[in-house]
Amino acid sequence: MDNCIFCKLVTNDIPSLRVYEDDDTISFLELNPSAPGHAMVILKKHGYSIFEYTQEDLGKLMASVSHVSKKIETALHTDSLTIGINHHEETGVPHLHVHIIPRWNNDNGSALQSIVKNPPKESREAIADKIKAA
């Protein structure tokens, strides 16, 4: 895609600090990191959301996420990692990407569940039924 900053990164039209690359994916350090070693992993093939990729594509993406996560844990001696995808996010880069954020005890971070505070107004059972029926 012509306007996509990540696609320009894939073609080396803009620089990045790559930490891993294979035939299908690239991992590079986040420009505005939340923690030292905050990296992103993308598929070289452009797509906005998980719905635009095949299961095979997503499998390759997650294999690279696993590989890079191990490298980050080893290199930076992390206590844990937070791994996340902002799916259909209106802000940010319109190219599916996975964040790998290194974590250390007492880093003032929190669990992924702390990002959104919107308690359900329906029972969990009702919500499960809606999802199953969709």
Q: How far apart are CA 99 and CA 112, in angstroms?
A: 12
Nearest CA to 28 among 12, 7, 14, 42?
42
Single out the catalytic residue among 38, 46, 67, 97. 97
Q: Are 10 and 44 in contact (CB under 8 A)?
A: yes
The answer to whether the Cα torsion of 42, 46, 49, 50 is positive or negative is negative
97 is catalytic: yes
Query: Which residues are tagged catalytic?
Result: 97
